[in-house]
A and B are shown apart, each in its own frame.
Chain A
């Protein structure tokens, strides 16, 4: 198994593939959140909830008779909320490319749950790198044009890896579905300016 990896402060990208034949092999591209960050989120969120409930408990303490019970309920509630939130914390996402067959997109959460989606190769029209603009920021994302679907499908739903990690995955996807990415650098469409 050939493996290459790129990492930055936030993410680590690992690419695994068979060493001999290039086109027929299964390719796996992992993007992992760097360890400290995921647990850091959880820690901060937990502390946040605890503080909020501590503050409200102190308020009740001043007014109500049974502060201990309030505090214990408060801690239970905050712990419960933190656990709920942690189900959303992503550990890693990966793309498994099976040439001529399809691709599998998987998201693995901190809680151990994995959500996966398989897309047959015939359904993929084109993988594209898009710049997404929100009211606050702008970032790159890798998306797929799928047959019969109006919306683009994101390859990485939760994570936002940088461009240097997305480019090799994009090239691998293009190779897998048989698109020659060298000649596909520009596609022109004419649009009505008055629209």
Chain B
């Protein structure tokens, strides 16, 4: 008979599979490793097209695709109180102990955290991105974040840069913020068994072709490098609004045979694309923590990247440099500096040993380690004392002259609505869902996890 789970975690975010990205990956891998550690994990996200309702993924990971419409960039339409009934139902029926929200841009996450705090649950928040302070969008986003994090138990950031950014934006105490870097699935990202020949050097770029990922820099850098080195070719994977600019660049400089555009690459095929290359180029203008370069390094590619945000930290671990300077080349986000960095990379390419790089990454980056550290954060959150409504309201008042009072009103109304819901549908009326365990306990490696979705017929 299996032991009862130690912790029961609800991961909430607008961003989850079938949408693909860093946050989605993070939630999935972290959930799988927590399940292996014996905890129960449930994910809550909004419905994607026809994918609505309850689904079970590998390892018994239960996902609620709640039928709320997404409106802008896959985030749920913010109704502030609209999600209270369903969040309450899910928290009660799954007997959740900790609620873990992901990504500052996710409205569902903020609403769920607010409702969870009102109902007395412990909450943890992970911020995955860096944001600005100057433009109108950022100012509003930061105010929302300030409200959301005013009352939180613990927060997690993926790099020291991200921690500084989050603390400045939200006014949160740094003592409450933990830094847990992302990891990479080294079992999936292995170097090719036979290294491709260095007669023709292949530079791989895999990213969304958007402004903040530096697609404009690529448009400047690629023709210059092709001009200087006739034996270099580029492979560009990914899609986005800047795709058109890259196509124009190809046409203008007649680089159709030297620049291959693959379009959107599903995550399961990323490794097969990476191993065809020698160098990985990352031109992001801002990055909290770049998993893509870890994946490339795990596949034995030499990395050239812009020195922004948390990227330099990706190569340091507990203050120790994971990859030495001759395995990663950093450049300023300027076309000339990047061309110079690529030149340096091409010159040091013969001395690279892909297997060696992979082994170093494998020793230091693993999702199991991230899960253990996250477990510590959960335990710390559970030890935080329960606060009464008045104590919580006093925290909101410090958020600003007008904003503080507005936030207090919002929380009071949330509290009253919760009590009304309890009158209409008492807590005992919400049926608890049974814990469904997959009866054939396959020991599925995380590397296979992405491919399968198990639909469970229960009984």
With contacts A167-B459, A185-B439, A193-B266 taken as known, whether A133 is within 8 angstroms of B65 at the C-beta atoms is yes
Which residue on A lies nearest to B82, using beta carbons?
A: A135
A-B contact pairs, 20 of them (CB 8 A): A126-B457, A129-B459, A130-B54, A131-B54, A133-B54, A133-B64, A133-B65, A135-B67, A137-B89, A138-B90, A140-B431, A163-B431, A167-B459, A188-B455, A190-B452, A191-B453, A193-B17, A193-B267, A194-B18, A195-B18
Which residue on B lies nearest to A126, using beta carbons?
A: B457
Which residue on A lies nearest to B51, using beta carbons?
A: A195
User: How distant is the Cα of A22 from the Cα of B438 in the complex, in angstroms?
Assistant: 30
**B252 interface residue, CB < 8 Å from A?**
no
Chain B residues with Cβ under 8 A from A130's Cβ? 53-54
In the assembled complex, how far is the CB of residue B161 from the closest CB belonging to chain A, in whole angstroms? 31
**B433 interface residue, CB < 8 Å from A?**
yes
Chain A residues with Cβ under 8 A from B247's Cβ? none
Query: What sequence of 0s and 1s flags, for each residue 164-195 of chain A, a beta carbon within 8 Å of any chain B beta carbon?
Result: 00010011000000000100111111110111
The secondary-structure label for the interface of chain B is loop
Contact indicator B458/A129 (Cβ below 8 Å): yes
Contact indicator B66/A133 (Cβ below 8 Å): yes
In the assembled complex, how far is the CB of residue B272 from the closest CB belonging to chain A, in whole angstroms? 15
**B456 interface residue, CB < 8 Å from A?**
yes
With contacts A133-B66, A163-B434 taken as known, whether A186 is within 8 angstroms of B457 at the C-beta atoms is yes
Which of A10, A135, A184, A189 interacts with B66 by CB under 8 Å? A135
Q: Classify chain A's interface size.
A: 20 to 34
Which residue on A lies nearest to B62, using beta carbons?
A: A131
Chain A residues with Cβ under 8 A from B18's Cβ? 193-195
Chain A residues with Cβ under 8 A from B266's Cβ? 193-194
With contacts A193-B268, A194-B266 taken as known, whether A134 is within 8 angstroms of B67 at the C-beta atoms is yes
The secondary-structure label for the interface of chain A is loop
Within 8 A of A (CB), among B45-79: 52-54, 64-68
Q: Classify chain B's interface size.
A: 35 or more
A to B contact number (C-beta, < 8 Å): 88
**B85 interface residue, CB < 8 Å from A?**
yes
Chain A residues with Cβ under 8 A from B52's Cβ? 133
Chain A residues with Cβ under 8 A from B268's Cβ? 193
Which residue on A lies nearest to B54, using beta carbons?
A: A131
Chain B residues with Cβ under 8 A from A193's Cβ? 17-18, 266-268, 450-451, 453
Which of A10, A126, A140, A187 interacts with B455 by CB under 8 Å? A187
**B93 interface residue, CB < 8 Å from A?**
yes
Contact indicator B431/A135 (Cβ below 8 Å): no
Chain A residues with Cβ under 8 A from B135's Cβ? none
Which residue on B lies nearest to A191, using beta carbons?
A: B453
Which of B65, B267, B440 interacts with A186 by CB under 8 Å? B440
Within 8 A of A (CB), among B426-440: 429, 431, 433-434, 438-440
Chain B residues with Cβ under 8 A from A140's Cβ? 431
Contact indicator A184/B457 (Cβ below 8 Å): yes
Contact indicator A137/B453 (Cβ below 8 Å): no
Chain B residues with Cβ under 8 A from A189's Cβ? 453-455
User: How distant is the Cα of A136 from the Cα of B79 in the complex, in angstroms?
Assistant: 13
With contacts A129-B459, A194-B266 taken as known, whether A138 is within 8 angstroms of B454 at the C-beta atoms is no
With contacts A184-B459, A193-B450, A193-B453 taken as known, whether A131 is within 8 angstroms of B89 at the C-beta atoms is no
**B86 interface residue, CB < 8 Å from A?**
yes
Contact indicator A187/B86 (Cβ below 8 Å): no
Chain B residues with Cβ under 8 A from A147's Cβ? none
For B268, B431, B459, which residue has the most chain A Cβ atoms within 10 angstroms? B459
**A64 interface residue, CB < 8 Å from B?**
no
In the assembled complex, how far is the CB of residue B271 from the closest CB belonging to chain A, in whole angstroms? 15
20 other A-B residue contacts (CB within 8 Å) besides A136-B89, A185-B459, A188-B452: A130-B53, A133-B67, A135-B67, A135-B68, A138-B54, A138-B64, A138-B86, A138-B89, A163-B431, A171-B459, A181-B459, A184-B457, A185-B439, A186-B439, A187-B456, A187-B457, A189-B455, A191-B453, A193-B17, A195-B18
In the assembled complex, how far is the CB of residue A7 from the closest CB belonging to chain B, in whole angstroms? 14
In the assembled complex, how far is the CB of residue A72 from the closest CB belonging to chain B, in whole angstroms? 34
Chain B residues with Cβ under 8 A from A134's Cβ? 67, 86
Chain B residues with Cβ under 8 A from A131's Cβ? 53-54, 433
Chain B residues with Cβ under 8 A from A188's Cβ? 452, 454-455
Contact indicator A185/B86 (Cβ below 8 Å): no
In the assembled complex, how far is the CB of residue B64 from the closest CB belonging to chain A, in whole angstroms? 6
User: How distant is the Cα of A104 from the Cα of B89 in the complex, in angstroms?
Assistant: 32
Which residue on B lies nearest to A188, using beta carbons?
A: B454
**A110 interface residue, CB < 8 Å from B?**
no
